[in-house]
Amino acid sequence: MGRLGAYLLIVCGCAALATLTCRAVRQERPAPAKPPEQLRAELSQEHPPQVRAAAAAALAAEPETASRDPDTMTALLAALEDPDPVVRGRAGAAVATILNADFYYRAEDPPERRRAAIEKIRTHWEAWIRITGGGAPAPRP
Q: Which residue has the higher pLDDT, 28 or 43?
A: 43
The b/e string for 66-94 (b: 16+ C-beta within 10 A; e otherwise) is bbbbeebbebbeebbebebeebbbbbbbb
Give the pLDDT mean for 80-104: 94
pLDDT bracket for residue 23 (50, 70, 90): very low
Query: What is the per-residue pLDDT for 31?
Result: 52
pLDDT bracket for residue 83 (50, 70, 90): very high
Query: What is the per-residue pLDDT for 44?
Result: 92
Report how far residue 134's alpha carbon sits from residue 31's, in angstroms, rounded to the nearest whole number.
29
Question: Is the pTM here over 0.75, yes or no?
Answer: no
Question: Residue 100: which of 54, 56, 137 has the closest Cα?
Answer: 137
